[in-house]
Amino acid sequence: MLGRRIAQFLIVYSVGLGGLLGLKYALSLSNYVVPDIPLILETTQEVIRDYIPAVFSTLSVTVLGQLISIVLAFSVGIAGRKSSWLGSFIRVTAYNIQAYPIVALAPIIFILLGDGFLSRLLIASMICYFPLLLSVLGIMAAPVRDIEHFYRATGRMTWYLEVKIRAFENLSKLFTVISGSATLAMAGTIVAEFIAANAGIGYSIRTALYQSDLAKIFVALFLIGIIISVYQGLLESIGTWTIRKISTASPSHVQEI
């Protein structure tokens, strides 16, 4: 999965860069507008030592922000799974808030918290949180009728067992959602860094933009694509390993949950 993720990114990146270079030569654009390959390689040598720590700084905020979002989304999703008024209230509130463009709140966050680590972390978590919450709510609110009926009929059903049954039956979906949310967390972090932060690869892109240096932006985009591909590939591998491990260890899954 890791290799496939990286290969997919390299293909997309190559196609995009190839398209721009084709446009450059077709319209006889200068290196100032669209840099050629030698200039991109030269720029890579100049900035790589600064960009690698920057992209890892962005990744660290991304991972932490995603973890916070996962914990919050599962906590609220489990609380909102019931068809009671509380569950309905949580679901309606989540749907309404998710419809608002969260990124528009970024300037307020920077005004209140400044342009440091907390602002980057909060924006990354917020952008990642609501799509994740809606997915978790949808999964947790959908009963596994055949299995749950047995435990309800025998009087053994508890909220904890109910959550486990629904999570177990939807492990593949849950890990897919978690893996996909990594992209949102990374996007949120980069947006925060691009708007007003003072660190990270988003800040480097903003600096390159002020310098009108497209070659630096190409290098930054390449590093972002590689790092998020590796991260998502690792999440998918962990998910596959976990599902296989649980399925192997627990053939009669419900009894063993």
Top pLDDT among 87 and 118 is at 118
pLDDT for 85 beyond 80: no
- pLDDT of 86 above 60: yes
Output the pLDDT for position 67. Answer: 93
Q: How high is the pLDDT of residue 51?
A: 93
pLDDT of residue 42: 92
- Using a 10 angstrom Cβ sphere, with 0-12 exposed, 13-18 middle and 19 or more buried, the burial of residue 49 is exposed
pLDDT above 70: percentage of residues in the chain: 96
Answer whether 119's CB lies under 8 Å from 113's CB.
yes
Q: Each residue of 108-144: pLDDT tens digit?
A: 888 888 778 888 888 888 888 888 888 888 888 888 8
Interatomic CA distance for residues 144 and 84, integer angstroms: 18
What is the residue whose two structure tokens read 């293909």?
Answer: 11
8 Å CB contact between 94 and 132: no
| Distances in whole angstroms, Cα of residue 44 to Cα of each of 25, 47, 57 | 22, 5, 19
Residue 53 pLDDT > 90, yes or no? yes
